[in-house]
Amino acid sequence: MEKNERLVSMLRRYEEVSLLIQDPNLVKEQHTYRDMMKEYAQLSAIAVAQDEVTRLFKLINDAKTLVQHEKDPQMRELAREEMQNVEGLLKEAQERLKVLLIPKDPLDEKNIIMEIRAGTGGNEAALFAADLFRMYARFAESKGWRFEIMSSNETELGGFKEIIIGISGSNVYENLRYESGVHRVQRVPATEASGRIHTSAVTVAVLPEADETEIDIRQEDLRIDVMRAGGPGGQCVNTTDSAVRITHIPSGVMVHCQDEKSQIKNKAKAMRILRARIYEQEAAKAHSERAEARKNQVGSGDRSERIRTYNFPQNRLTDHRITLTLYKLDLIMQGGMEELFDALKLSTQEALLRSDVAECQSAGTMVSLPVPV
């Protein structure tokens, strides 16, 4: 669908939704009402942006008329300057509208399950996994998101061989989706006596959390084992059969949870992780079948892809996908990640816009900026 067709369709839908949300009976259906209000907010932003484009077009046309018919040279010059200024504003407004017209990824609003695992580097990798965990926890706190540990495997030095966390809130996946991949760290480990810089790696996977209605997991496809928890733990953790391991036989996906003292709670957490992993498998299949426009986004989401380097001696963070370097690693590790995430989202938007242009050119159609409708 061309930009202008998409714009007309969305503005028509905006009028429809504007009327629907005025129905007093809609409030009784909370789920439908919430979805409708969310759609209204998105469409309202497009309508406001389009109104601005229309307003600026009118100013330019008025200035053109003045330039063509005004006899006073000074007035004509003022009108010409006004027209040039408004043309710049119009171009900016059209670009904002183009971004709003990019189809939203349905996963953007989902909560996530994040898996952080120590890779090469032994104890230093485990310590850095703990640092990343704290970084994401602080960022989540700054956004007002809910943050919970679902499973962890802690080392004696306070690092993590693995930690799985659930993060829920507004547009969590939209912000954290780019974190999947290999995070490389360069620093002098606390365990290094000679002051030599080591390079270690941690793997992060970001899984959109699936609702029970989205993934059909049959009970007969599960093998559930219970056992005593291993590793460090508080009273009762190692003395009761509270740990749970669930294996999804068709896919081979296996999840182990032991952090809770309650077997029921561990099973519930394990099922959430299992659903997310299976959902990710299905999403990966769909991703491989998407159009070229989707392939041009930042990163593939592949957890084997090296995405970032954290160089502590230089206070430098480099994101290799968008060749972005920031000399404020200390602030980023405290959760100040907004600039980084904004750059990643902007790069994705630009890639999608370029893909839109390429698709239209290959189809032999003209690409134009959104205009008044």
Lowest mean pLDDT among 47-61, 117-131, 333-347, 357-371: 357-371
The Cα-based distances of 354 to 6, 88, 295, 364 in angstroms read 17, 21, 12, 15
- Residue extents of the structural domains in the chain: 3-101, 112-336
Q: In terms of C-beta density within 10 A (0-12 exposed, 13-18 middle, 19 or more buried), how is residue 220 classed?
A: exposed
Distance CA(26)–CA(302), nearest Å, equals 41
User: Which residues make beta-bridge pairs with 199?
Assistant: 186
pLDDT confidence of residue 322: 92
Residue 352 is given by DSSP the state H
Distance CA(136)–CA(167), nearest Å, equals 9
**Which residue has better confidence, 318 or 258?**
318
Q: Are 165 and 129 in contact (CB under 8 A)?
A: no
The conformational region for residue 196 under phi > 0 = left, psi -120 to 50 = alpha, else beta, is beta
Classify 14 as helix, strand or coil: helix
Q: Are 125 and 202 in contact (CB under 8 A)?
A: yes
pLDDT confidence of residue 370: 47
User: Which residues make beta-bridge pairs with 151?
Assistant: 164
Distance CA(267)–CA(256), nearest Å, equals 9
The CATH number of 112-336, from 3.40.50.720, 3.30.460.10, 3.40.50.300, 3.30.70.1660, is 3.30.70.1660
Distance CA(8)–CA(182), nearest Å, equals 42
Question: Which residue bears the tokens 């900016």?
Answer: 92
**Which tokens hold the place of 56?**
């600026």
Classify 249 as helix, strand or coil: coil
Please say if the pLDDT value at position 368 is more than 70: no
pLDDT confidence of residue 312: 95
- pLDDT band at 290, cuts 50/70/90? very low
Question: Which residue bears the tokens 């609702």?
Answer: 211
Residue count of the chain: 373
pLDDT tens for 19-57 read 998 888 888 888 788 888 888 988 999 999 999 999 999
Beginning with the edge strand found earlier in the chain, give each strand of the sheet holding 112-118 in spatial order: 146-154, 160-168, 112-118, 198-208, 181-187, 306-311, 316-319, 324-326
**Which residue has better confidence, 104 or 140?**
140
Lowest mean pLDDT among 4-18, 100-114, 172-186, 317-331: 100-114
Q: What are the respective helix, strand and coil percentages of the chain, to the nearest 5?
A: 50, 20, 30
Q: In terms of C-beta density within 10 A (0-12 exposed, 13-18 middle, 19 or more buried), how is residue 31 classed?
A: exposed
Q: In terms of C-beta density within 10 A (0-12 exposed, 13-18 middle, 19 or more buried), how is residue 358 classed?
A: middle
pLDDT confidence of residue 367: 37
The radius of gyration of the chain from alpha carbons, rounded to an integer in Å, stands at: 26
**Residue in 109, 127, 110 with CA at minimum distance from that of residue 118:** 127
Q: Are 113 and 209 in contact (CB under 8 A)?
A: yes
Helices (H) and strands (E) in the chain, counts: 9, 11
pLDDT tens for 124-156 read 999 999 999 999 999 999 999 999 998 888 998
Q: Are 339 and 215 in contact (CB under 8 A)?
A: no
Lowest mean pLDDT among 193-197, 209-213, 216-220: 209-213
pLDDT-above-70 percentage for the chain: 85
- pLDDT band at 287, cuts 50/70/90? low
Which ranges constitute the DSSP H helices of the chain?
3-20, 30-69, 73-100, 122-143, 172-176, 263-288, 292-295, 329-332, 338-362
